[in-house]
Each structure stands twice: as structure tokens, then as C-alpha cells.
Amino acid sequence: MLSNIRIVLVQTFHPGNIGQTARAMKTMGLSDLVLVNPRRFPDQEASRLAAGAEDVVDAARIVGDLSDAVSDCVQVVGASARLRSQPLPHFDEPETMARSLVELADQDPVALVFGRERFGLTNEEIQQCSHQVSIPANPDYGILNLSQAVQVLSYEVFRAWRQRPESGYQVARPSPGRLPTQAQLDHFHDHLSRVMHASGFLTQPHARTEQQLQALFARAQPNRKELSLLRGLLSSLEQNV
Ligand code: SAH
């Protein structure tokens, strides 16, 4: 699942961030992690903080240079809290970025690149990206922890993937049942109106009350079965008035 979407961490300082990144990735169905020149790896701290995502940590590949990590990718998105001066295309919304990545990943590898804890990505590294993305955040305090930035963007990727009908991802929900036609609804409201008049609940034409009840049933969206239950109830009341 989502195997063509790669997460690249450049020169990570704290090995714990690699573990937390692996965990963030795995919760969102991602598994391809590439580490560019990490300061310390493999490392116990990375495995400890992976908390069940050690498989992602163990399968991580180490390369010496960003270009080695992304040369086979058709789109490379650099995550940066600050907009750079380079005229690189910029995704204003992570959601748009995620849709684009997911679509391309049908056929080819794509990558999301994250910078160092201390100083992010260098200008040279940004130039090796095809696009940039920032996570909208507090203008006065908008820099996320590395693995949290990975979590947010991975979540967007997962969401974009899930929204595609071909993902086959469906939350198990009971079927809502077939909805009634407009004619069936009209018959129900006529019936309701007859019973309200016959019972003395409405003594004169009260269009407003009827409109309110119509709005109530429109919000409730009863299915055909429920509507026929209500019709049955009205018929039985009718016999007793
Ligand atoms: N001090 C660095 C930021 C390091 S945070 C700087 O000023 O650039 C580590 C990495 O997390 C960043 O390189 C970036 O890839 C990612 N990140 C953090 N906050 C982000 C945000 N708001 N939008 C996009 N990426 C972000």
C-alpha cells in the first residue's frame, strides 16, 4: 500500500526522530524510508521510539546524498516551514500536494523530503526538489518537530489515497437503505397532514407547522422502510380518531 511514496530524512541529528518518523509513517500506511547521511544510525533510540514500527526502521536505506535518495522519483516535494526565494512551484495546501503525489505514485516513485532539526534543508537541497510544501501553522511559532511534520504530511497523503474510489478503503457502515422518491415523500406528508387535521391537532390550515415538519423529515432522511413504518403508524392513528 502506498509503496511508491517515499519519505526522505536529510541528516537527522537525533536518532529518536527516525524512530518516531517510522511510527508516523506506519500509522499512515507508508513504509519506504530513506535516510540521507544520518548522524547516528542504526541506533537503539531509533528502534525504541519506533514503538511497533521497527520493521520500517530496519528496512530504511541509507544514502550519502539527497540525489541518491530521489533520482528515480518523478516528483520530489521538499517540506519547509519557510518559503524560499527560489522560484520552485509551491503547494499552498498540503492537501493539494498529497493528491498530486498519490496520483503520480500510481505509476512511479515520488518523495517527500524533510530537513535537519537544526537548520532544515539547504538551498542546494531545495533546488533538487521539484516542489515545496509548508504546513500552515502559527505565524509566530510555525516550525514543527521533524517527526510531527512527517506525521501531518503523511496523514494528508493517506487521506488523499483513501478518498480515491479505487483504494477500496471503506469504513464498514450499515447500508442506509434506499431513499424514498419525492412522490413517496409527498404522499407521506399528505397523510400526516390529514391525520393532524382529523385529530384536531391542527384546527386551521397551518402551512408553517407543516413546513416545519417537512424540514424535520428532510433532515432525518428516512429510508423507504422507515417511511412505510411511519405511514403504518399514521394509518393506525387514523382508525382511532
Ligand atoms: N530549524 C529548521 C526547521 C527544522 S524542523 C528551520 O528553520 O528550517 C525539521 C524539518 O521539519 C524541516 O526541515 C521541515 O522539513 C519539517 N517542518 C517543520 N515544520 C514545518 C512546516 N511548518 N511545514 C513544512 N515542513 C516543516
Query: How remote is the CA of residue 73 from the centroid of ligand 1, in Å?
Result: 22
CATH number for 190: 1.10.8.590
Report the SS3 class of residue 185.
Answer: helix
pLDDT-based confidence at 171, cuts 50/70/90?
A: low
Is 152 touching ligand 1 by the criterion CB < 6 Å?
no
Is pLDDT at 60 greater than 90 in this prediction?
yes
Q: Map grid coordinates 502559527 to a residue.
A: 138
CATH number for 72: 3.40.1280.10
Specify whether 54 is located in the same domain as 92: yes
Mean pLDDT of the region 43-53: 97
Specify whether 100 is located in the same domain as 197: no
Is 51 touching ligand 1 by the criterion CB < 6 Å?
no
Region of 121 please: left (phi>0), alpha (psi -120 to 50) or beta.
Answer: beta
Query: How remote is the CA of residue 11 from the centroid of ligand 1, in Å?
Result: 13
Domain boundary among 134, 162, 190: 162
Task: Determine the pLDDT at residue 220.
Answer: 79
For atom 18 of ligand 1, the residue with the nearest CA is 144
Task: Determine the pLDDT at residue 85.
Answer: 64
Query: How remote is the CA of residue 74 from the centroid of ligand 1, in Å?
Result: 23
E strand residue ranges, 102-180: 110-114, 131-133
Query: How remote is the CA of residue 18 from the centroid of ligand 1, in Å?
Result: 15
Q: Which domain holds residue 80?
A: 2-162
Specify whether 137 is located in the same domain as 234: no
Q: Tally the domains of the chain.
A: 2
What is the spatial distance between Cα 55 and Cα 47, in angstroms, rounded to a whole number? 9
Is 75 touching ligand 1 by the criterion CB < 6 Å?
no
Cell of 214: 417537512
Closest ligand 1 atom to Cα of 133: 24
Of 210, 200, 187, give the one whose Cα is nearest residue 241: 200
Specify whether 109 is located in the same domain as 212: no
Lowest-pLDDT range of 5-14, 38-47, 97-106, 173-182: 173-182
Specify whether 17 is located in the same domain as 111: yes
Does the residue 174 lie in any domain?
no
Domain boundary among 130, 162, 194: 162
Contacts of 167 (CB under 8 A, 6+ apart): 161
pLDDT-based confidence at 170, cuts 50/70/90?
A: low
Closest ligand 1 atom to Cα of 135: 23
Specify whether 31 is located in the same domain as 85: yes
Is pLDDT at 178 greater than 80 in this prediction?
no
Closest ligand 1 atom to Cα of 118: 1
Specify whether 92 is located in the same domain as 158: yes
Specify whether 207 is located in the same domain as 91: no
Query: How remote is the CA of residue 80 from the centroid of ligand 1, in Å?
Result: 5
Is pLDDT at 173 greater than 90 in this prediction?
no
Mean pLDDT of the region 3-11: 98
124-151, pLDDT tens digit by residue? 999 999 999 999 999 999 999 999 999 9
Mean pLDDT of the region 52-76: 97
Is pLDDT at 183 greater than 90 in this prediction?
no
Domain boundary among 132, 162, 192: 162
Is 9 touching ligand 1 by the criterion CB < 6 Å?
no
Is pLDDT at 1 greater than 70 in this prediction?
no
Is pLDDT at 216 greater than 90 in this prediction?
no
Rg of the chain over CA atoms, in angstroms?
28
Specify whether 33 is located in the same domain as 132: yes
Mean pLDDT of the region 59-79: 97
